[in-house]
Amino acid sequence: RSVESAVKRSRSAHLRRSFHAGAVPERKVAILGAAGGIGQPLSLLMKLNPLVTRLALYDIAGTPGVAADVSHINTPAEVAGYASEEQLGKALEGSDLVIIPAGVPRKPGMTRDDLFNINAGIVKSLCTAIAKYCPNALVNMISNPVNSTVPIASEVFKKAGTYDAKKLFGVTTLDVVRAKTFYAGKAKVPVSEVNVPVVGGHAGITILPLFSQATPSTNALSEEDIHALTKRTQDGGTEVVEAKAGKGSATLSMAYAGAVFADACLKGLNGVPDIVECSFVQSTVTELPFFASKVRLGKNGVEEVLGLGPLSDFEKQGLENLKAELKSSIEKGIKFAKEN
Ligand code: NAD
Ligand code: LMR
């Protein structure tokens, strides 16, 4: 027993050194779609992240300018730009984490599913390259429709024999970011203290914020307030699409959310304990094969998919209401990947 506790003591001393003395592991992060509306500010934010050693910026257009620009920032991460399909392998090789914001965004009047025809093919080809060049990397999927692009990625990886459910994440952090902001505004609590889980998927009614579990809790909100907050969170993307009036969808708040989630993934990889974020992952929380819920992140990606916790009647109803749409979006993605 004494050997075991000595090992434990030395391990925790080592971790302390790792966390407090700056001796963190080297980490390569690749961003695919790095010159886009999300890609550019996300590249900036990842260049600022002290956990990133190498930053590979890949896009089919505009990469050299973005890479040169970001590379001048005086932070440790080494930046390299990759500008054409022939360079995709080099961009991916050795990556610990690949973030994918490549693809077209919505215009007013469109649903996220209207992006499927273009983005499904983009995601499929990028994931085929990931399977070849960095099969062990964590993948953070931002490209919409997330409810379908994550299942597409899973099928591509299965076909290639590299699928690891623990390493594939649909990024739903923006829903959490919005839920926190809107809740703090309405409940008049400091936004930096707020936590709100958001479960389900990432489109319309499939986005289900659990305000009954929001902290700090408050009894200042009426049922109508909760319904309005829920609707605003579900329609947050559309609110931005309409405000941008044809010039795309959320980019800055998404880059922030993407950077928060990527940072959590890197911390998990580095062995930092108790890193929990919501994400759309392979799941047994409901009967659906993919579902967003709280996930504990660790050295191999998903360490544990956490359950839903107690739901209000309104949330229980929301959960039942979202299942049909989420199921069909998942099946659409799987079918596409199997047939193409
Ligand atoms: P954008 O058009 O500004 O940028 C997309 C970038 O992808 C462009 O630079 C383009 O050249 C690049 N690209 C296209 N095909 C590529 C390929 N095969 N390989 C590499 N790069 C490629 O769009 P955006 O506003 O940055 O949005 C990107 C995607 O993110 C959209 O699908 C959008 O719906 C989605 N999105 C998701 C969330 C979320 O919460 N998950 C939030 C906002 C936007
Ligand atoms: C969002 O939630 O902002 C994104 O999914 C982009 C969109 O199309 O709404």
Q: Express each pLDDT in 195-204 by its tens digit.
A: 999 999 999 9
203 φ, ψ (degrees, to nearest 5): -170, 125
E strands, 265-319, where? 275-282, 290-298, 301-305
287 forms beta bridges with: none
Ligand 2 pocket residue status of 250, Cβ below 6 Å: yes
Ligand 2 pocket residue status of 174, Cβ below 6 Å: yes
pLDDT of residue 150: 99
List of residues 6+ apart from 335 with CB closer than 8 A: none
pLDDT of residue 314: 98
The best mutation among 234, 235, 249, 253 to test binding of ligand 2, ranked by most ligand atoms within 8 Å of the C-beta, falls on: 249
- Centre of ligand 2 to C-alpha 7, Å, is 47
207 is in an annotated binding site: no
Ligand 2 pocket residue status of 237, Cβ below 6 Å: yes
Where does residue 18 rank: exposed (0-12), middle (13-18), buried (19+ CB within 10 A)? middle
Residue nearest to atom 9 of ligand 2 (CA): 237
Q: How would DSSP label each residue in 20-51?
A: HSS-PPP-EEEEETTTSTTHHHHHHHHHT-TT
Residue nearest to atom 7 of ligand 2 (CA): 237
Residues across the chain: 340
Q: Read off the pLDDT of each residue in 16-39 and give the average, rounded to a whole number.
A: 81
Q: What percent of the chain has pLDDT over 70?
A: 94
Residue 141 has pLDDT above 80, yes or no: yes
- Centre of ligand 2 to C-alpha 90, Å, is 30
Q: How would DSSP label each residue in 240-265?
A: HHHHHTTS-S--HHHHHHHHHHHHHH
> In this predicted complex, what is the ipTM?
0.99
- Centre of ligand 1 to C-alpha 256, Å, is 15
Ligand nearest to the CA of 254: 1
Q: What percent of the chain has pLDDT over 90?
A: 93
- Centre of ligand 2 to C-alpha 238, Å, is 7
Nearest atom (ligand 1) to Cα of 175 = 40
Ligand 2 pocket residue status of 106, Cβ below 6 Å: yes
Lowest mean pLDDT among 10-14, 233-237, 271-275: 10-14
The best mutation among 59, 206, 238, 240 to test binding of ligand 1, ranked by most ligand atoms within 8 Å of the C-beta, falls on: 59
* Predicted confidence (pLDDT) per residue in 156-165, tens digit: 999 999 999 9
- Centre of ligand 1 to C-alpha 147, Å, is 15
Residues belonging to the active site: 202
Residue 21 has pLDDT above 70, yes or no: no
* Predicted confidence (pLDDT) per residue in 287-306, tens digit: 999 999 999 999 999 999 99
293 forms beta bridges with: 279
Instruction: Tell me the Cα Rg of the chain.
Output: 20
pLDDT of residue 7: 34
pLDDT of residue 23: 72
Ligand 1 pocket residue status of 250, Cβ below 6 Å: yes
Q: How would DSSP label each residue in 168-230?
A: EEE--HHHHHHHHHHHHHHHT--GGG-B--EEE-SSGGGEEE-GGG-BS--S---HHHHHHHH
- Centre of ligand 2 to C-alpha 24, Å, is 34
* Predicted confidence (pLDDT) per residue in 90-131, tens digit: 999 999 999 999 999 999 999 999 999 999 999 999 999 999
Ligand 2 pocket residue status of 144, Cβ below 6 Å: yes
Whole-number mean pLDDT of the chain? 94
Could you give the angle at the alpha carbon of 247 between the alpha carbons of 245 and 250, nearest 5°?
90
Nearest atom (ligand 2) to Cα of 241 = 9
The best mutation among 149, 240, 252, 256 to test binding of ligand 2, ranked by most ligand atoms within 8 Å of the C-beta, falls on: 240
Q: Is the whole-model pTM more than 0.90?
A: yes
Residue 12 has pLDDT above 60, yes or no: no
